[in-house]
Structure 1
């Protein structure tokens, strides 16, 4: 039988079908690439030889001219994105049906969509075909299906020792007949893949289920477990260490018993301890899996499909939360990420928030929790390191393990504190509500600044500097909170606070200065305060009042408290404050301002 690919025979066979364009080439780089450049439905590209074919995980796929099928086609996707996970699996069902019909070869599927064949009854399963599905297009996306099928290769022409060809299985069939039959079966399966009608056909043909498997989800991420099923979204269910997780992507190896020795591939421990025999990458993966509840199992396209949210929208939400963009081919997301995206999108879909506000809220949560995470980790690391100081690999690993153990206990506390702060913020908002609230709210704004901090930075060790900053922030937090004020932010040597009442702000200033004077570690402090309208936005405050308070701080001498006229006017009669000095100061960007240096009456 001639092995030439007869283009006229193929076109005649497809003439009365939905396949509108059938392109047959002698040689191309990649049949998939040709369709991805113009992803319209019902197009077919095939070639006698493909020189730059790619398979899953970007692996190269090439065969000698005239020996294989390099076939790509475009099909409409199901309207329900929740079904997209089944598309590559059901393509495998269609290819298996077509090849079995024409050859009688015994065939099976390996999750997600490799076609395996037996060369004899007592042989092992070997790969005879691979499938790559790529979503493309805009408002009406299609799937570009790429199929590479070994047909006429001899044993010495096969790319690996775990692959085979139809010839090696005893079948001799024309490639154009195979292509026509595959396209016919794809059309039949496409008409059904919007429903679960053929899902069980895949499950029945998939020999991965019931096997011990090794799943690789990234360059250094892998696990070994038992494949126990395929779920309603087409994900492989793997049980490892008593926990079953659904994986939407990954490279699966069926593990022989001799390959599964305990020493060959250590798995994340159920209770984490310092890495020990685990290398750093495995230890970090184990940490993440414990914190998030599940290991990573999805790529960008797969979490988009599972959530029903477009890739652009998922990327925007992900960036708003403050996380780095994942590569398209990287298994980066897990079940917790999926649930988070669904929750944020649900806030918009249910009409609780518009999309702009939802993204702004995501940014607020992301920024706040990022700082909280870094701060928490540093505090725990300082405790773990003790007198040694610094964070070497041992301290880092013990800190990580302890943090994971603390996370579950801390999560309810974090939720409680957020709700309590919401209650306080709501109370302030109600109190601030007035006809002119659109131009800002009235606050007393204060800056407390550590004197000569720059010189201290040069003189102190990193550990001593960290202790100083921590002590300063602790004093500020305790004192501002005790007087009913609010810390807006701390920046190394400076804390910005606000208060609704002038007297409360003045009490904060006096107590901050007194605490610094009584503390051997904290240097002399100076405070500047102003009162007026401020614009409160995303936890920060802006406006002339804030600028005036900052400039007054810079104008104050070490150990002094300087305020503006508005603060003085806002003090109630009988307030325990005396003016030590009144002066006219020229504040940069503001101009001449009446300023007052204040003290307690006994000072």
Structure 2
């Protein structure tokens, strides 16, 4: 099978047995650029479209659902590819690669198959975990997309000002350390990292105490490290909607808003979370009521280990 682009979008659609407009839509949903009538496609693109035809032919899901799943694949894979290329190219010993007659692309090609195996392994493990969570929610609620969770939001204090004061390399290192340490803490306490936004992370946990432990852990590994900037953490608990790998709902927004009133290296929670934390382990202190955008006047609660 040739890897050289020899096919147009119309060729791909015809060989896959799918309307051209639908094929173009699927390519866009995957995050691929439009190429008009250029010969920019290969047999691999035909096989991918045939997979979609087969999936739709099963009749289990319709095109809209297929497009939503495809969009998630495209967004995730694009970010993963950028992450891998940036990390590998930055740290590979280029001199060694060049001595062997290769370049950065050669290094990535050499490692790609093994990373592909790791990708499939991780996807299957996470898929099993997601199914288990969904079945657990279904056992308690008729709506599998909505459930009660503790939502945490942690951000770096003064990141904008900091990024104007230090080099791009230093900022990149800070973000990398921040994301990796937060990810480790979240996984350790049984939570899920929903997304990372460079200077902030959003995570969820089924158990409010575990969410508190995560917030405490993030402060310990980031804010207590003299080489790292301070952090602020907000927690809120309540019903959220699980959709497209993300979470939505008032607790998500409130957790983010609470970080804006939190002191450095402190945990601020809403009353719903405070009420669920064990009083013999956690000391709660209501703070003065204040206006919080989108929520009116809110009385945050500062929490720490008793």
Q: What TM-score comes out, normalization by structure 2 length?
A: 0.92
Whole-Å separation in 1 of the counterparts to 2:91 and 2:7: 36
- Measured in 2, the distance between the counterparts of 1:398 and 1:455 equals 37
Distance between the aligned counterparts of 1:435 and 1:598, measured in 2?
30
Q: Which residue of 1 aligns with 2:20?
A: 311
Q: Is the 8 A contact 2:16 2:53 kept in 1?
A: no
Q: 1:102: which partner in 2?
A: none
Q: State the alpha-carbon separation in 2 of the partners of residues 426 and 495 from structure 1.
A: 24
Indicate how the Cα distance of structure 1 residues 385 and 471 shifts in structure 2: closer, same or farther if over 3 A, else same.
Answer: farther
| Alignment partner of 1:416 is 2:96 | no
- Name the residue aligned to 1:337: 45
- Aligned residues of 1:487 and 1:496 also touching (Cα < 8 A): yes
How far is the alpha carbon of 1:436 from its aligned partner?
A: 5.5
From the superposition, tell whether residues 436 and 596 of structure 1 become closer, same or farther in structure 2 (CA, over 3 Å). farther
> 1:506 maps to which residue?
212
Alpha-carbon separation, structure 1, partners of 2:263 and 2:31: 40
CA-to-partner distance for each residue in 1:330-367, whole Å, 9 max, x for gaps?
A: 11111211111100121001223211111111101000
The offset of 1:535, in angstroms, is 1.3
Q: Give 2:185's match in structure 1, choosing from 456, 469, 479.
A: 479
Corresponding residue for 1:327?
A: 36
Q: Deviations over 1:107-150 (max 9, x none)?
A: xxxxxxxxxxxxxxxxxxxxxxxxxxxxxxxxxxxxxxxxxxxx
1:366 aligns with 2:63: no
Q: Which of 344, 347, 353 is 2:55 aligned to?
A: 347
**In structure 2, C-alpha distance between the alignment counterparts of 1:560 and 1:583, rounded to whole Å:** 16
- Change in Cα spacing, 1:399 to 1:559, as seen in structure 2 (3 Å) is same
Note if 1:461 corresponds to 2:170.
Answer: no
Instruction: Give yes or no for the alignment of 1:545 onto 2:251.
Output: yes
For 2:91 and 2:238, locate their aligned partners in 1 and report how far apart those are by CA, in whole Å. Answer: 42
**In structure 1, what is the equivalent of residue 83 of structure 2?**
375
Higher relative contact order (CA 8 A, sep 6+): 2
More strand by share: 1
**How far apart are the structure 1 equivalents of 2:141 and 2:264?**
40
Structure 2: distance between partners of 1:443 and 1:321: 30
User: Is 2:304 aligned against 1:595?
Assistant: no
Could you tell me which residue of structure 2 aligns to residue 533 of structure 1? 239
For the 8 Å contact 1:468–1:521, the answer to whether it is kept is no
Structure 2 residues without counterparts, runs of 5 or longer: 95-101
Contact map agreement 1:551 1:588 (CA 8 A) in 2: yes
- The partner residue of 2:131 within 426, 436, 444 is 426
1:489 aligns to what SS in structure 2?
strand
Q: Distance in 2 between matches of 1:570 and 1:600?
A: 14
Do the aligned residues in 2 keep the contact of 1:579 with 1:596 (CA within 8 Å)? yes
Q: Show structure 1 runs of 5+ residues with no match.
A: 1-244, 247-293, 387-396
- Give the distance between the partners of 1:398 and 1:303, measured in 2 at CA: 31
Q: 1:577 aligns to what?
A: 282
In structure 2, distance between residues paired with 1:505 and 1:360: 29
Change (3 A) 1:354 1:471: same
Aligned counterparts of 1:378 and 1:527: Cα–Cα separation in 2: 29
Conserved? CA contact 2:134–2:144, under 8 Å: no
What corresponds to 1:297 in structure 2? 6
Alignment size in residue pairs = 300
- Secondary structure of the 1:598 match is strand
Q: What secondary structure does 1:295 align onto?
A: coil
Are the aligned partners of 1:384 and 1:398 in contact in 2 as well (CA < 8 Å)?
A: no
Alpha-carbon separation, structure 2, partners of 1:568 and 1:516: 23
Tell whether the 8 Å contact from 2:152 to 2:236 is kept in structure 1 after alignment.
Answer: yes
Matching residue of 2:223:
517
Deviation at 1:385, TM superposition (A): 7.0
Instruction: Give the Å deviation of 1:581.
Output: 4.8
Q: State how 1:12-411 maps to structure 2 within 5 Å.
A: 245=1, 294-328=3-37, 330-384=38-92, 398-411=103-116
**Shift in Å, 1:593:** 1.8
* Structure 2: distance between partners of 1:454 and 1:507: 27
Q: For the residues of structure 1 that align with 2:85 and 2:142, how far apart are their CA atoms?
A: 43
SS at match of 1:449: strand
1:40-99 CA distance string (max 9 Å, x none): xxxxxxxxxxxxxxxxxxxxxxxxxxxxxxxxxxxxxxxxxxxxxxxxxxxxxxxxxxxx
Contact 2:31 2:75 in 1 (8 A): yes
Per the alignment, residue 97 of structure 2 pairs with none
The TM-score normalised by the length of structure 1 is: 0.48
- Preserved CA contact (<8 Å) 1:440 1:534: yes
| Contact in 1 for aligned 2:13/2:49 (Cα 8 Å) | no
